[in-house]
């Protein structure tokens, strides 16, 4: 059958709205299922910051932590991951006593 | 063996009550003895969907408070042999019943009936806790919308936390024209996200509104696609293996001609 919507799709670069819905839903469910609210993530971030700062001098301004989707090794399936980006200013010299 | 099945969803307005009514009638037509319990105290609707609103004398709260015997509160549907309704109270609130009382009631009704089907209210508070208390299995209803699927996910988690394992999913109000355009999540998308078994898909169908206006169930309407979908779900509840409906196939005269050409090509 002649389907206009198919032809329109070829010419538009827009992602279909259902794909947008699916991706948004997947991400929101990671938060729902892990019960990690943005406040909790903020708390987690602050605690990690304290621990890491003991060993490494880090750029606190650019320190970022968030939940995201990553491609798994096989390239087909997606896994959710807690991703932290921690820019290092300098390594501290740790003196073992 | 008798079973208590709760029909739940989290979000309101996705078709819990309509599904309860149609599955109940469908099971009764198949010769089963069925009682439907409306647990949406304060916002009862199963009575009007079934067209039994003029026959209510006692309700769920009267039964648990002992104001009447359970049998006195059951409304017998004269159109369908073996179908009964236990309506919710309209003037009380959800706290008028507790989960222990529901467990007791379900156990009592299980002795008399093949199927006890519980229409759960929206939400995850007391009403939900009451509805699932005595349930053996659960059917989760959702629509292909982001909000409904999100709430279904939450409900599935809560069901599992309450030891109601392996809930089954009904995806309601699918519009194939929108799915084809890529403007509605399809069955695979939703199953991939929720990761539970599918018991049926129900197309968006005007007939549902028309029959509900009249207080009649759609499940008996041979022309309605939604009716066919509910008949299939009834058979799956009874343990039959029925393939999931192909909503893509055009129907009616236009469909007949299209199918004729497709066959030849």
Nearest to B223 by CA among B194, B199, B245, B252: B252
Each residue of B94-144: pLDDT tens digit? 999 999 999 999 999 999 999 999 999 999 999 999 999 999 999 999 999
The structural domain count of chain B equals 1
Compute the distance between CA of residue B133 and CA of residue B135 in angstroms, rounded to an integer: 6
Whether B212 contacts chain A with CB within 8 A: no
Looking up residue B21, the CATH number of its domain turns out to be 3.40.50.300
- Longest Cα–Cα distance of chain A, Å, equals 79
**Residues of chain A contacting residue B180, judged by C-beta atoms under 8 Å apart:** 3, 5
Of the candidates B108, B131, B109, B129, the residue with the CA atom closest to the CA atom of residue B119 = B131
Query: Bigger pLDDT: B204 or A54?
Result: B204
Q: Give one DSSP letter per residue of B125-180, joined into a string.
A: SHHHHHHHHT-SEEEEEE-SSHHHHHHHHHHHHHHHHTT--S-EEEEEEE-HHHHH
- Place B261 in a pLDDT band, splitting at 50, 70 and 90: low
Neighbours of A25 (CB within 10 A): 21
On whether the CB atoms of residues B62 and B88 are closer than 8 A, the answer is: no
pLDDT value at position A32? Answer: 84
The reply to whether B186 touches chain A by the CB within 8 Å rule is: yes
CA-based nearest residue in chain B for residue A25: B146
pLDDT in tens, A45-74: 889 888 988 888 888 888 888 777 666 666
Domain that holds residue B155: 3-264
Long-range contacts of B188-192 (CB under 8 A, 24+ apart): B189/A18, B189/A22, B189/B144, B190/B142, B190/B144, B190/B149
> Would you give the DSSP letter of residue B15?
S
Return the sign of the alpha-carbon dihedral for residues B169, B173, B179, B182.
Answer: negative
pLDDT tens column, B165-178: 999 999 999 999 99
ipTM exceeding the 0.85 mark: no
* Shortest Cα–Cα distance, A85 to chain B (Å): 28
């Amino acid at each position: 059958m002649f389907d206009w919507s198919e032809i329109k799709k070829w010419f538009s670069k827009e992602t279909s709205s259902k794909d947008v819905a699916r991706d948004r839903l997947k991400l929101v469910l990671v938060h729902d299922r892990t019960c990690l609210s943005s406040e909790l993530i903020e708390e987690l971030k602050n605690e990690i910051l304290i621990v890491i700062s003991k060993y490494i001098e880090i750029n606190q301004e650019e320190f970022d932590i968030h939940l995201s989707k990553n491609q798994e090794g096989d390239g087909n399936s997606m896994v959710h991951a807690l991703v932290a980006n921690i820019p290092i200013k300098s390594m501290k010299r740790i003196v073992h006593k | 063996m008798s079973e208590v099945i709760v029909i739940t969803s989290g979000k309101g307005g996705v078709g819990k009550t309509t599904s309860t009514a149609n599955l109940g009638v469908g099971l009764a037509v198949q010769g089963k003895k069925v009682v439907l319990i409306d647990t949406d105290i304060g916002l009862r609707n199963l009575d009007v969907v079934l067209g039994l609103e003029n026959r209510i004398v006692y309700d769920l709260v009267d039964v648990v408070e002992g104001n009447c015997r359970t049998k006195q509160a059951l409304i017998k549907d004269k159109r369908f042999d073996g179908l009964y309704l236990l309506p919710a109270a309209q003037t009380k609130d959800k706290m008028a019943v507790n989960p222990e009382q529901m467990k007791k009631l379900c156990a009592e009704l299980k002795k008399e009936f093949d199927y006890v089907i519980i229409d759960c209210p929206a939400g995850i508070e007391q009403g939900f806790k009451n509805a699932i208390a005595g349930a053996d299995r659960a059917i989760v209803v959702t629509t292909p919308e982001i909000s409904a699927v999100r709430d279904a996910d939450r409900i599935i988690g809560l069901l599992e936390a309450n030891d109601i394992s392996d809930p089954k999913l009904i995806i309601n109000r699918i519009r194939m024209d929108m799915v084809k355009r890529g403007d509605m999540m399809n069955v695979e998308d939703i199953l991939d996200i929720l990761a539970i078994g599918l018991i049926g898909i129900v197309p968006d169908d005007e007939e549902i509104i028309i029959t509900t206006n009249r207080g009649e169930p759609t499940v008996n309407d041979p022309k309605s696609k939604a009716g066919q979908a509910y008949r299939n779900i009834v058979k799956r509840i009874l343990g039959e293996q029925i393939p999931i409906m192909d909503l893509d196939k055009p129907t009616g005269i236009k469909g007949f001609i299209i199918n004729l050409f497709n066959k030849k090509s």
